[in-house]
Every structure is written in C-alpha cells, then in structure tokens.
C-alpha cells in the first residue's frame, strides 16, 4: 500500500499545486478586476491601482498564482507568495488579535504555509517546469552518430 501511495506522490503534489495556485490567482483577479465577488470591503469593486499594500498583494496573487498553477518557476513564485502572505498575516491580521480565528488571518496563514511547502517540494507532476527541464535535457544530449554501413 505504501509503495502505491509513494508512486502517486508527484501526481498528488501536482494537483495540490494546481488547486492552491488557482485559488490564489482567483483572489488576485477578484481584487484587480472585480470578478468573483470583487475585492473585500469594496462591495464587489476593485482596489485602486497603486494602493499599499492591497493592490500590490493582488498583483502578487495574480502573477504568482498563475505561475504556480502552470508549474512555471514554481519554487520562486511560491517563495514570493509565501512571503507576501506572511507579511499580510503579521502586519494586517495579527495586530488585531493573536489567533487566526480571531483576526481573520486564516487564509493568509494557510496560503503562506501552503506555498512554503511548494518552495521545498517543487511543482510535482503536470508542471511546465518538468516539461521544460525534459526538453532542455534532450537538447543537451549529443545526437547519436550515424552508423557506417
């Protein structure tokens, strides 16, 4: 049983990455474009461009969420996303109360830890990272010499 679970690990990790990236991307899209209910606290609207820290966080959510979803530059994008969510938790949520249940910081804390895991695990299966790495490896291998007849 353990062997089967271990062999499925890259696929489970790939699906995990896709879901986490999509959810993060949706937060950014909601804040920047007013879709999916819009930005929090705007009655379905968008954040004003350049406002600190919300608009910048939304750009990070959109871009890093998309990169993680695609599995492209996963570790770097996840590192930036994890850091932005840690910042959000400690600067925006934690000053109002200690526990995430009290301060509304559960999503920030969960996203931060979810992305931190991806920093260490990489993209798993289904990612463009792996596809590009395979292609690069194949291009670097010397072509087989023709056989003399």
Tell which residue, 120, 29, 117, has the closest CA to residue 66: 29
The reported pLDDT for the residue numbered 34 is: 82
Q: Give the pLDDT of residue 142.
A: 66
> ∠ CA(104), CA(108), CA(110), 5° rounding?
105
Task: Report the predicted TM-score, pTM, of the whole model to 2 decimal places.
Answer: 0.83
* The CA-based dihedral angle spanning residues 97, 99, 103, 106, taken in that order and rounded to the nearest 10 degrees: 160
| pLDDT value of position 50 | 79
CA 60 to chain centre: 10
pLDDT in the model for residue 84: 97
Quick check: 65 and 24 in contact, CB under 8 A?
A: yes
CA 58 from centroid of its chain's CA atoms: 13
Mean pLDDT, each 10-residue run in order, the chain (149 residues): 85 96 94 79 72 89 97 97 96 92 94 97 89 75 63
Q: Supply the pLDDT for residue 83.
A: 97
| All residues at 6 or more sequence positions from 105 whose CB lies less than 8 Å from its CB, including other chains | 88, 89, 92, 93, 94
* Residue 68: per-residue pLDDT: 97
**pLDDT value for 140:** 72
């Amino acid at each position: 049983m353990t062997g089967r679970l271990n062999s499925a690990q890259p696929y489970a990790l790939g699906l995990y990455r896709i879901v986490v990236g999509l959810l993060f991307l949706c937060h950014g899209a909601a804040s920047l474009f007013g879709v999916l209910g819009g930005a929090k606290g705007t009655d379905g609207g968008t954040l004003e461009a350049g406002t600190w820290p919300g608009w910048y966080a939304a750009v990070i959510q959109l871009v890093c969420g998309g990169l993680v979803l695609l599995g492209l530059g996963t570790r770097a994008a996840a590192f930036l996303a994890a850091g932005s969510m840690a910042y959000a938790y400690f600067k925006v949520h934690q000053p109002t109360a200690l526990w995430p249940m009290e301060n509304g910081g559960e999503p920030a804390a969960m996203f931060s830890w979810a992305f931190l895991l991806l920093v260490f695990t990489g993209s798993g299966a289904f990612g463009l990272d792996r596809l590009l790495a395979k292609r690069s490896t194949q291009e670097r291998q010397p072509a087989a010499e023709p056989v003399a007849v």
